[in-house]
Amino acid sequence: MTSAVSFQSVSRLFGPVRAVDNVSLEIATGEFFAMLGPSGSGKTTCLRLIAGFEQPSSGSISIFGEATQGLPPYRRNVNTVFQDYALFPHMTVGENVAYGLMIKGMARADREAKAAGALEMVKLTNYGDRRPSQLSGGQRQRVALARALVNEPKVLLLDEPLGALDLKLREQMQEELKHLQKQLGITFVFVTHDQGEALSMADRVAIFNEGKIVQAGSPTEIYEHPRTRFTADFVGSSNVLSPEFSSRHGGPSRWCSLRPEKIRVLQEGVMAGVDEAHATGPIASVNYQGAVTRIAVTCDGIRLVTAAPATQRTFVEGEMVNLAWSRASLAVMEND
Protein backbone atom coordinates (compact mmCIF):
# COMPACT_ATOMS: atom_id res chain seq x y z
CA MET A 1 0.00 0.00 0.00
CA THR A 2 1.32 3.42 -0.89
CA SER A 3 1.85 5.94 1.85
CA ALA A 4 -0.47 8.91 2.06
CA VAL A 5 2.51 11.22 2.33
CA SER A 6 6.11 10.30 1.76
CA PHE A 7 9.19 12.48 2.35
CA GLN A 8 12.45 11.38 0.76
CA SER A 9 15.47 13.20 2.20
CA VAL A 10 13.63 16.51 2.14
CA SER A 11 15.45 19.69 3.10
CA ARG A 12 14.14 23.23 3.07
CA LEU A 13 16.62 26.05 3.45
CA PHE A 14 15.80 29.65 4.25
CA GLY A 15 19.06 31.36 3.46
CA PRO A 16 21.60 29.64 5.69
CA VAL A 17 18.93 28.21 8.01
CA ARG A 18 18.03 24.57 7.49
CA ALA A 19 14.40 24.74 8.56
CA VAL A 20 13.91 21.16 7.46
CA ASP A 21 17.04 19.07 7.41
CA ASN A 22 17.09 15.83 5.44
CA VAL A 23 13.76 14.50 6.65
CA SER A 24 12.47 11.14 5.45
CA LEU A 25 9.02 10.17 6.55
CA GLU A 26 6.13 7.88 5.65
CA ILE A 27 2.61 8.71 6.73
CA ALA A 28 0.22 5.79 6.25
CA THR A 29 -3.22 6.13 4.68
CA GLY A 30 -5.93 6.84 7.23
CA GLU A 31 -3.44 7.60 9.94
CA PHE A 32 -3.69 10.38 12.50
CA PHE A 33 -0.14 11.62 12.40
CA ALA A 34 1.19 14.28 14.75
CA MET A 35 4.29 16.39 14.23
CA LEU A 36 5.46 17.50 17.63
CA GLY A 37 8.28 19.84 18.46
CA PRO A 38 9.21 23.19 19.93
CA SER A 39 8.69 26.31 17.84
CA GLY A 40 11.25 26.63 15.07
CA SER A 41 11.79 22.87 14.93
CA GLY A 42 10.62 22.60 11.32
CA LYS A 43 7.26 20.91 11.88
CA THR A 44 5.19 23.72 10.40
CA THR A 45 7.53 23.99 7.43
CA CYS A 46 6.98 20.27 6.82
CA LEU A 47 3.24 20.87 6.80
CA ARG A 48 3.63 23.79 4.40
CA LEU A 49 5.75 21.56 2.17
CA ILE A 50 2.91 19.06 1.98
CA ALA A 51 0.36 21.82 1.31
CA GLY A 52 2.59 23.26 -1.40
CA PHE A 53 3.13 26.70 0.15
CA GLU A 54 6.83 25.84 0.24
CA GLN A 55 8.89 23.83 -2.18
CA PRO A 56 11.69 21.59 -0.93
CA SER A 57 15.26 22.81 -1.55
CA SER A 58 16.22 19.19 -2.09
CA GLY A 59 14.60 15.79 -1.80
CA SER A 60 11.10 14.92 -2.91
CA ILE A 61 7.62 14.61 -1.48
CA SER A 62 4.90 12.43 -2.87
CA ILE A 63 1.25 12.36 -1.92
CA PHE A 64 -0.45 9.02 -2.56
CA GLY A 65 2.42 8.04 -4.80
CA GLU A 66 2.17 11.15 -6.94
CA ALA A 67 5.26 13.34 -7.08
CA THR A 68 4.52 16.88 -5.99
CA GLN A 69 7.57 18.50 -7.53
CA GLY A 70 6.53 21.94 -8.79
CA LEU A 71 2.85 21.33 -8.06
CA PRO A 72 1.16 24.51 -6.76
CA PRO A 73 -1.14 24.32 -3.71
CA TYR A 74 -4.29 24.60 -5.84
CA ARG A 75 -3.41 21.41 -7.71
CA ARG A 76 -3.01 19.27 -4.59
CA ASN A 77 -5.75 17.20 -3.11
CA VAL A 78 -4.93 18.25 0.42
CA ASN A 79 -6.59 20.89 2.56
CA THR A 80 -5.32 22.87 5.49
CA VAL A 81 -6.84 24.08 8.72
CA PHE A 82 -4.80 27.16 9.48
CA GLN A 83 -3.50 28.15 12.86
CA ASP A 84 -5.52 31.36 12.94
CA TYR A 85 -8.28 29.80 10.81
CA ALA A 86 -7.83 32.23 7.86
CA LEU A 87 -11.56 32.56 7.30
CA PHE A 88 -12.55 35.03 4.58
CA PRO A 89 -13.94 38.06 6.44
CA HIS A 90 -15.99 39.30 3.48
CA MET A 91 -17.98 36.08 3.13
CA THR A 92 -20.59 34.47 5.32
CA VAL A 93 -19.80 31.25 7.15
CA GLY A 94 -21.73 29.33 4.49
CA GLU A 95 -19.80 31.01 1.65
CA ASN A 96 -16.56 30.28 3.44
CA VAL A 97 -17.37 26.59 3.68
CA ALA A 98 -18.62 26.44 0.08
CA TYR A 99 -15.58 28.33 -1.24
CA GLY A 100 -13.62 25.30 -2.44
CA LEU A 101 -16.70 23.87 -4.15
CA MET A 102 -17.46 27.21 -5.81
CA ILE A 103 -13.92 27.30 -7.17
CA LYS A 104 -14.43 23.82 -8.58
CA GLY A 105 -17.51 25.15 -10.37
CA MET A 106 -20.17 23.24 -8.45
CA ALA A 107 -23.70 24.63 -8.92
CA ARG A 108 -24.89 26.97 -6.20
CA ALA A 109 -27.68 24.75 -4.85
CA ASP A 110 -25.39 21.70 -4.66
CA ARG A 111 -22.57 23.48 -2.94
CA GLU A 112 -24.90 25.17 -0.48
CA ALA A 113 -26.36 21.78 0.43
CA LYS A 114 -22.91 20.29 0.89
CA ALA A 115 -21.75 23.27 2.94
CA ALA A 116 -24.80 22.94 5.16
CA GLY A 117 -23.96 19.26 5.61
CA ALA A 118 -20.37 20.09 6.54
CA LEU A 119 -21.54 22.69 9.05
CA GLU A 120 -23.86 20.12 10.55
CA MET A 121 -20.95 17.72 10.88
CA VAL A 122 -19.05 20.26 12.99
CA LYS A 123 -22.21 21.08 14.96
CA LEU A 124 -22.75 24.53 13.52
CA THR A 125 -26.11 23.96 11.85
CA ASN A 126 -27.87 27.27 11.07
CA TYR A 127 -24.70 29.34 11.40
CA GLY A 128 -24.34 29.62 7.61
CA ASP A 129 -25.60 33.19 7.33
CA ARG A 130 -23.35 34.66 9.98
CA ARG A 131 -20.08 36.43 9.44
CA PRO A 132 -16.87 34.89 10.80
CA SER A 133 -16.42 37.99 12.97
CA GLN A 134 -19.64 37.11 14.81
CA LEU A 135 -18.30 33.72 15.92
CA SER A 136 -16.25 32.70 18.93
CA GLY A 137 -12.78 31.22 18.55
CA GLY A 138 -14.05 27.67 18.94
CA GLN A 139 -16.76 28.21 16.35
CA ARG A 140 -14.32 29.71 13.85
CA GLN A 141 -12.16 26.67 14.40
CA ARG A 142 -15.07 24.45 13.43
CA VAL A 143 -15.84 26.55 10.36
CA ALA A 144 -12.21 26.23 9.25
CA LEU A 145 -12.49 22.49 9.73
CA ALA A 146 -15.75 22.28 7.76
CA ARG A 147 -14.30 24.44 4.99
CA ALA A 148 -11.40 22.03 4.58
CA LEU A 149 -13.35 18.79 4.97
CA VAL A 150 -16.15 19.70 2.57
CA ASN A 151 -13.63 19.28 -0.27
CA GLU A 152 -13.10 15.65 0.75
CA PRO A 153 -9.32 15.97 0.76
CA LYS A 154 -7.13 12.89 0.72
CA VAL A 155 -5.01 14.43 3.45
CA LEU A 156 -6.11 17.03 5.98
CA LEU A 157 -3.35 19.23 7.35
CA LEU A 158 -3.89 20.90 10.70
CA ASP A 159 -1.49 23.61 11.80
CA GLU A 160 -1.76 24.01 15.58
CA PRO A 161 -5.51 24.28 15.15
CA LEU A 162 -6.29 24.24 18.85
CA GLY A 163 -3.55 26.62 19.95
CA ALA A 164 -5.81 29.64 20.35
CA LEU A 165 -8.55 27.87 22.32
CA ASP A 166 -8.87 27.73 26.08
CA LEU A 167 -8.19 24.47 27.91
CA LYS A 168 -11.77 23.17 28.22
CA LEU A 169 -12.60 23.86 24.61
CA ARG A 170 -9.29 22.39 23.50
CA GLU A 171 -9.98 19.11 25.25
CA GLN A 172 -13.45 18.97 23.75
CA MET A 173 -12.11 19.70 20.25
CA GLN A 174 -9.41 17.06 20.66
CA GLU A 175 -12.06 14.44 21.19
CA GLU A 176 -14.18 15.69 18.33
CA LEU A 177 -11.27 15.82 15.93
CA LYS A 178 -10.29 12.29 16.81
CA HIS A 179 -13.84 11.12 16.39
CA LEU A 180 -14.15 12.89 13.01
CA GLN A 181 -10.94 11.38 11.78
CA LYS A 182 -12.12 7.86 12.67
CA GLN A 183 -15.49 8.49 11.08
CA LEU A 184 -14.13 9.92 7.81
CA GLY A 185 -11.02 7.79 7.52
CA ILE A 186 -9.07 10.72 6.09
CA THR A 187 -5.35 10.94 6.79
CA PHE A 188 -4.78 13.73 9.31
CA VAL A 189 -1.41 15.42 9.67
CA PHE A 190 -1.44 17.47 12.82
CA VAL A 191 1.21 19.95 13.89
CA THR A 192 1.44 20.87 17.54
CA HIS A 193 3.89 21.91 20.22
CA ASP A 194 1.61 20.50 22.89
CA GLN A 195 2.85 17.04 23.80
CA GLY A 196 -0.36 16.13 25.64
CA GLU A 197 -2.35 16.88 22.52
CA ALA A 198 -0.05 14.81 20.33
CA LEU A 199 -0.04 11.83 22.67
CA SER A 200 -3.78 11.79 23.24
CA MET A 201 -4.86 12.21 19.63
CA ALA A 202 -2.33 10.70 17.29
CA ASP A 203 -1.81 7.15 16.06
CA ARG A 204 1.81 8.03 15.46
CA VAL A 205 3.96 10.94 16.55
CA ALA A 206 7.13 12.37 15.03
CA ILE A 207 9.28 14.43 17.35
CA PHE A 208 11.01 17.34 15.59
CA ASN A 209 14.07 19.18 16.77
CA GLU A 210 16.20 21.58 14.78
CA GLY A 211 14.73 20.55 11.46
CA LYS A 212 15.19 16.83 12.02
CA ILE A 213 12.92 14.05 13.17
CA VAL A 214 14.55 12.74 16.32
CA GLN A 215 12.03 9.97 16.88
CA ALA A 216 8.83 8.68 15.36
CA GLY A 217 6.52 6.08 16.76
CA SER A 218 3.27 5.40 18.58
CA PRO A 219 2.53 7.62 21.58
CA THR A 220 3.29 4.72 23.93
CA GLU A 221 6.62 4.01 22.26
CA ILE A 222 7.57 7.66 22.39
CA TYR A 223 6.60 8.01 26.00
CA GLU A 224 7.87 4.71 27.33
CA HIS A 225 11.02 4.46 25.26
CA PRO A 226 12.37 7.90 24.47
CA ARG A 227 15.50 7.30 22.43
CA THR A 228 17.14 10.64 23.10
CA ARG A 229 17.38 13.00 25.99
CA PHE A 230 15.51 15.59 23.89
CA THR A 231 12.52 13.30 23.48
CA ALA A 232 12.61 12.29 27.13
CA ASP A 233 12.57 15.94 28.21
CA PHE A 234 10.14 17.23 25.61
CA VAL A 235 7.51 14.54 25.91
CA GLY A 236 6.37 14.55 29.50
CA SER A 237 9.00 15.21 32.09
CA SER A 238 11.72 12.77 32.81
CA ASN A 239 14.63 12.01 35.06
CA VAL A 240 17.74 11.54 32.98
CA LEU A 241 20.16 9.13 34.66
CA SER A 242 23.85 9.13 33.83
CA PRO A 243 25.49 5.74 33.03
CA GLU A 244 27.30 5.84 36.41
CA PHE A 245 24.16 6.49 38.41
CA SER A 246 22.23 3.91 36.47
CA SER A 247 24.79 1.13 36.93
CA ARG A 248 25.28 1.95 40.61
CA HIS A 249 21.55 1.40 41.12
CA GLY A 250 21.25 -1.86 39.29
CA GLY A 251 20.59 -0.53 35.78
CA PRO A 252 22.63 -0.75 32.57
CA SER A 253 25.72 1.41 32.23
CA ARG A 254 23.96 3.68 29.74
CA TRP A 255 22.10 6.98 29.73
CA CYS A 256 18.59 6.18 30.86
CA SER A 257 15.29 7.95 31.21
CA LEU A 258 13.07 7.34 34.21
CA ARG A 259 9.55 8.77 34.29
CA PRO A 260 8.55 10.45 37.59
CA GLU A 261 5.40 8.39 37.96
CA LYS A 262 7.41 5.14 37.79
CA ILE A 263 9.17 5.98 41.06
CA ARG A 264 7.60 5.01 44.35
CA VAL A 265 8.34 7.16 47.39
CA LEU A 266 8.74 5.08 50.58
CA GLN A 267 9.19 6.15 54.17
CA GLU A 268 12.72 5.76 55.48
CA GLY A 269 13.27 2.20 56.61
CA VAL A 270 10.62 0.70 54.32
CA MET A 271 12.55 -1.44 51.89
CA ALA A 272 12.02 -1.70 48.18
CA GLY A 273 10.97 -4.96 46.55
CA VAL A 274 13.71 -7.48 45.74
CA ASP A 275 13.57 -6.93 41.99
CA GLU A 276 13.46 -3.17 42.35
CA ALA A 277 16.23 -0.61 42.11
CA HIS A 278 16.36 1.93 44.91
CA ALA A 279 18.05 5.06 46.19
CA THR A 280 17.91 7.06 49.39
CA GLY A 281 18.00 10.78 49.97
CA PRO A 282 16.39 13.84 51.56
CA ILE A 283 13.33 15.50 50.04
CA ALA A 284 14.39 18.74 48.32
CA SER A 285 10.92 20.03 47.51
CA VAL A 286 7.26 19.05 47.66
CA ASN A 287 5.05 20.48 44.96
CA TYR A 288 1.31 19.92 45.28
CA GLN A 289 -0.40 19.97 41.85
CA GLY A 290 -3.90 18.76 42.57
CA ALA A 291 -4.13 15.31 41.04
CA VAL A 292 -0.50 14.51 41.81
CA THR A 293 2.17 15.69 44.16
CA ARG A 294 5.63 16.05 42.69
CA ILE A 295 8.38 15.35 45.15
CA ALA A 296 12.00 16.05 44.28
CA VAL A 297 14.61 13.97 46.13
CA THR A 298 18.36 14.47 46.10
CA CYS A 299 20.10 11.11 45.66
CA ASP A 300 23.84 10.73 45.07
CA GLY A 301 24.05 14.36 44.04
CA ILE A 302 21.33 14.20 41.40
CA ARG A 303 17.78 15.37 41.68
CA LEU A 304 15.10 12.76 41.05
CA VAL A 305 11.57 13.98 40.52
CA THR A 306 8.69 11.71 41.44
CA ALA A 307 5.00 12.06 40.83
CA ALA A 308 2.58 10.34 43.19
CA PRO A 309 -1.20 10.53 43.56
CA ALA A 310 -1.99 13.23 46.05
CA THR A 311 -4.04 10.94 48.29
CA GLN A 312 -0.93 9.31 49.73
CA ARG A 313 0.58 10.32 53.00
CA THR A 314 2.11 13.81 52.98
CA PHE A 315 5.85 14.13 52.97
CA VAL A 316 7.76 17.16 54.19
CA GLU A 317 10.90 18.83 52.93
CA GLY A 318 14.14 17.51 54.41
CA GLU A 319 12.60 14.15 55.32
CA MET A 320 14.75 11.14 54.36
CA VAL A 321 12.96 8.79 51.97
CA ASN A 322 13.61 5.66 50.00
CA LEU A 323 12.89 5.69 46.28
CA ALA A 324 12.09 2.49 44.43
CA TRP A 325 11.53 1.75 40.78
CA SER A 326 11.28 -1.32 38.62
CA ARG A 327 14.33 -1.91 36.40
CA ALA A 328 11.97 -2.45 33.49
CA SER A 329 10.82 1.13 33.68
CA LEU A 330 14.28 2.43 32.79
CA ALA A 331 14.35 3.52 29.13
CA VAL A 332 17.80 3.21 27.63
CA MET A 333 18.69 6.13 25.37
CA GLU A 334 20.98 6.22 22.36
CA ASN A 335 23.35 8.96 23.34
CA ASP A 336 23.99 11.98 25.59
**Contacts with another protein, residue ranges (CB under 8 A):** 51-53, 72-74, 78-80, 82, 84, 86-90, 99-100, 102-104, 147-148, 151
Q: Which is nearer to another protein, 22 or 92 (CB)?
A: 92
What is the distance between the alpha carbons of residues 231 and 332, in angstroms, rounded to a whole number? 12
In the complex, the smallest distance separating the C-beta of residue 123 from another protein, rounded to whole angstroms, is 22
Kindly state the smallest distance separating residue 74's Cβ from another protein, in Å. 5
* Least distance between another protein and beta carbon 128 (Å): 16
Query: Phi and psi (nearest 5°) for 189?
Result: -115, 120
User: Would you say 21 or 95 has its CB closer to another protein?
Assistant: 95
The secondary structure of the chain in percent helix, strand, coil, rounded to multiples of 5, reads 30, 30, 35
Residue 4: other Cβ atoms inside 10 A: 24
Nearer CB in complex with another protein: 149/331 = 149
- Between 72 and 117, CB nearer to another protein: 72
Nearest to another protein of 99, 127 (CB atom) = 99
Cβ neighbours, 10 Å, residue 153: 18
Q: How far is the CB of 277 from another protein (least distance, A)?
A: 52
**What SS3 state is found at 112?**
helix
Half-sphere exposure (Cβ direction) of 85: Cα atoms closer than 13 Å: 24
Nearer to another protein, 79 or 187 (CB): 79
Question: Least distance (Å) from another protein to the CB of residue 291?
Answer: 38
**Which residue intervals of the chain are DSSP H helices?**
43-51, 93-104, 108-121, 137-149, 167-184, 195-201, 219-224, 229-234, 243-248
The helix (run of H) or strand (run of E) holding residue 106 is: none
Minimum separation from the CB atom of position 149 to another protein (A): 11
